[in-house]
A and B are shown apart, each in its own frame.
Chain A
Amino acid sequence: MRTVELTGHDLRIEDVVAVARGEARVRIAPEARQRVREGFALLMELVERGVAVYGITTGFGALDRRRVRPEDTSVLQHNLIVSHAAGTGPSHATEIVRAMMCLRANVLAQGVTGVREEVLDLLVEMLNRGVHPVVPEQGSVGASGDLAPLAHMVLPMIGLGRAEWQGEILDGTEALFRAGLRPCTLAGRDGIALINGTEQASAVACLVIAEAVELARTADVAAAMSAEALLSLASFADPAVHARKPHPGQAASACNLHRILSGSGWAAEAERRKLRDPLSIRCTPQVHGALRDALGWAHRVVEIEINSANDNPLVFLDEGRVNSNSGNFHGQHVGMVLDLLSAALTSLAVISERRVARLVDERLNEGLPAFLVLPPTGEEGMHNGLMLAQYTAAYLVAESRALCTPGAVQSIPTCANSEDHVSMATVSARKTWQILHDATGVLAIELLAAAQALELRGIGRCAAATRAAWAAVRARIPTLDRDRVVAEDIQGATSLVRSRAVLRAVEDRIGRLA
């Protein structure tokens, strides 16, 4: 298993995803370790000199004018965690919890938060040994940080709360114990340093981006299959066209489509029949491309975010000082890019569903049978084929559309108005996660319908790449020649999208797609 070294400055989304999925371990870089030690020492020195530091010598939020005695600091940090563990709703999937832990450890590794080394080590060890705190999804307003979810992440570290270990949900202490770890007592500013950041929304964003990047590529494959099955021209992907509108995502998608359709006998056949195709085919590069560019932007923003000091106050080693009046915990950046991804993923689902509707409609599908089922002689009208698969796609699109109401504009003041503008990035994160799954379902349905349609059209004249894609679908889902429970086929196609089996089959044939 590979190891991701956390420096606080160069964590990539790909690393986070590998850690989240249990494919990599993490280690704190030696120089980071040194900075963490120095940061804590500086903070303690300042406190001893009588400098007021928010969250160590004062209460939290609007309680910041209340002085806390130095001997009470440890109790203060403990109280912070328990009182901020106010989450509600269903628990996060393990991969998101792991991503949160990894991201917070990376922030702490910067050495500007004043956390103690042993606390950081405990967090890292929990991650490496698979102790996964139970974190409720709802409750963060996305400033000052994802307080409630991160506090739930910390509970097992101090022997409270609950955690999953090897598939079992246990009391926090028991989970640590079984993994050979012991809870710690918080001191200094350990408590606030562990929770004052955007790691819940960022964790979701990392996983959404990683999934969506692959989904965008699968979408090009599915669209190419639909295009061929609908006897479309290949000229919509003509590189000359896209050179004249140089959005990078559009170019990438067009290039993929051009490559996938190259050598298609059906596209050649189309040239003898027609001049133009409908927009759900013709504008595929423009729509898929817009998603790709949104993903590119989100990638950039999120990689800055996960390598940032998402905390307050911050200690500055070089200058020997602390700033209590800062707001790097505010999740507006992540919230806004998640809202953008909501819209972009929904648009992908919208155009894919329209292609599905064309595929199943005998008046629009260039001579294929109604609902893509060719019934045995004498059973005409008896089989409904993929009629309902399109309904399911339509449902998923409608749900996604409704969820596109932005989260990041929904600020509600908190903390007696001291935190009077918040990001609600978690609202954006939760709905984007749902939209990602809905869009995956729609794409799966398109793959299912397009594979069936290609087979009815004739695999012999297909392009090499679409033939490979068709074969990958058929390796899992047999031809639909009579009615059966459609949900099982949709489930099968969904796992083909998630496992990227179809994408891999195409790439094995024509090389890596953009």
Chain B
Amino acid sequence: MVLLDGRTLQPEDVERVVRGELAELSQEARQRMEASRVWVERIVQERRAVYAVSTGVGNLCTVAIPAEDVRALQRNIVRSHAAGVGPPLQEEAVRAMLLLRANALASGYSGVRPVVVDTLLQMLNCGVHPVVPEQGSLGASGDLAPLAHLALVVMGEGEAFFQAERLPGGEALRRAGIPPIVLEPKEGIALINGTQFMSALGTLFLLEAERLVTIADAAGALTIEALRGMDTPFDPQLQHVRPHPGQAQTAEHLRTLLSGSQRVVREGYARVQDAYSLRCIPQVHGAARDMLRFLRGVLQIEINSATDNPLVFPAEGVVLSGGNFHGQPVAVALDAAAMAVASVGAMSERRIERLLNPHLSGLPPFLAKQSGLHSGYMLAQYTAAALVSENKVLAHPASVDSIPTSANQEDFVSMGAHAARKAVQILRNVQQIVGIELVLAAQAVDLDPQGSLGQGTRAVYDAVRASIPPLEEDRVLSCDLRQAFELVRSGALCRVAEGVS
């Protein structure tokens, strides 16, 4: 059970809830929410001018809303902001969005009734997953369109998946036994004014990317074994004099993976230096680790923030309009992290090339047992190259773009939603590339079995071979590739790779 207080949610909690753990609102947060709700109700009674409570939204903020219409306003905001297009967002990301929006409201600065959060969490706990189109958010003022599609279901409208069926939102709620909500003043805007689309995708990206880098270390180490590379570049002394933390961590991981290996060679034994794609793994994977650490810090703050506007501060007795919905911090960090992950993939592809190219490996061409008649893994590198190339296009930053919206009232936006979507695509591509490297490295070891592997690389080799048999003759490669992708994506291999670190 994950208890939401709006302040202490961790990325790991998000993943646990996405995978089915229950979530509830903490007692303390409930009390804070009730206190700030009192303020909103007072404002409504006193008919004070507060954005989106007693005025229109966006560039309509100068229009006063009569008292009898303040509820209709909230409903209109949700309906008119549900302008998303494109394919429906994957279930795991929708679940993360539900949780993160609930947590943002639980911080107690939005002035909504606790029942709003309870409803979001009931939907989450019962598996009512709104249909959220992936495209349409500019990442300021918040991920409006995707969150509005989520809020439609809270009101008993829109569409939702329930038990694998796509249903009208009201019907999905009814089947799950959850009463829809008639939104009170402020509650419509409070449901949609935030960064939860990009943060949800970003959080899931972060956790998978962290595991991916660990697995990429293991793939790199197995390639070093296969090519009888050196372990001296990972010597602690070298890292000590250039103390980027990710670099040191990677080098240490590689040393542990390779420890006990009879295949790695000392400097000067066969050659003086290895190629960069072997020698510089600590520098490249390390840079990715540090960038992901930065992203983690940003997300830890973001997912425990009040990303709404306006915000209610009951202790100080004020309601303030600001811009906490603006996704720039997340957008910039996601762009940078996506580039870092793309680099891990690009380096892995170069090791794939070294494994396959007989001039560089000294192994049979394309790791085929009878090359010529068999093409072996020739095409696996083509696939990796295509994915690296696609990543180069996708790595173009999203956060430097901005298109003015809402009649120039919202004249600088973050494009964080796009940053998140393409970061996930880059992640998937690199998971596939690293999977290919693992398969090839295992095959290369099989073709040149002399000398035992290190403790860590042995375990990694065994895990690969448990799902993908050696290539004896040509077969449909995409089946091997899909297995390798699943092995990397599921994180199973991460536990093996970590087991030794």
Contacts and interface: CB of A to CB of B under 8 A. Distances in A.
B357 A362 contact: no
B56 A427 contact: no
25 contacts: A61-B366, A62-B378, A63-B372, A66-B371, A83-B378, A88-B387, A88-B432, A136-B478, A138-B429, A148-B478, A363-B408, A371-B59, A381-B55, A381-B65, A382-B73, A389-B83, A398-B138, A399-B398, A403-B394, A403-B396, A438-B135, A483-B75, A483-B79, A487-B133, A487-B149
Contacts of B421: 399
A360 B82 contact: no
A221 to B, nearest CB: 21
Contact of A416 (B64, B84, B366, B474): B366
B383 A87 contact: yes
A508 to B, nearest CB: 29
B24 interface: no
B293 interface: no
A285 interface: no
A55 B252 CA distance: 46
A399 B476 contact: no
Contacts of A401: 401
A79 interface: yes
B398 A398 contact: yes
B152 A485 contact: yes
Contact of B85 (A87, A384, A441): A441
A139 B136 CA distance: 29
Contacts of B407: 357, 360-364, 370-371
A424 B482 CA distance: 22
Nearest to A357: B404
Interface string A483-506: 111110011001000000000000
Contacts of B77: 384, 483
Contacts, number: 307
A384 B366 contact: no
B157 A485 contact: yes
Interface string A324-345: 0000000000000000000000
Nearest to B389: A410
A77 B393 CA distance: 34
A184 interface: no
A491 B85 contact: yes
Contacts of A417: 357, 359
Interface in B45-73: 55-60, 62-66, 69, 72-73
Contacts of A403: 393-394, 396
Contacts of A363: 407-408
A111 interface: no
Interface in B399-424: 401-408, 413, 415, 417-418, 421-422
Most buried by B among A364, A390, A406: A390
Contacts of B320: none
B408 A361 contact: yes
Interface in B132-150: 133, 135-138, 144-145, 148-149
B386 A427 contact: yes
B135 A82 contact: no
A268 interface: no
Given A141-B385, A405-B392, A68 B373 contact: yes
B374 interface: yes
Contacts of A383: 76, 80
Given A62-B365, A361-B408, A485 B158 contact: yes
Contact of B79 (A364, A397, A485): A485
Contact of A415 (B56, B382, B402): B382
B356 interface: yes
A242 interface: no
B372 A67 contact: yes
Interface string A374-388: 000011111111011
Given A353-B403, A402-B418, A88 B481 contact: yes
B396 to A, nearest CB: 4
A422 B385 contact: yes
Contacts of A160: 476
A398 B401 contact: yes
B462 interface: no
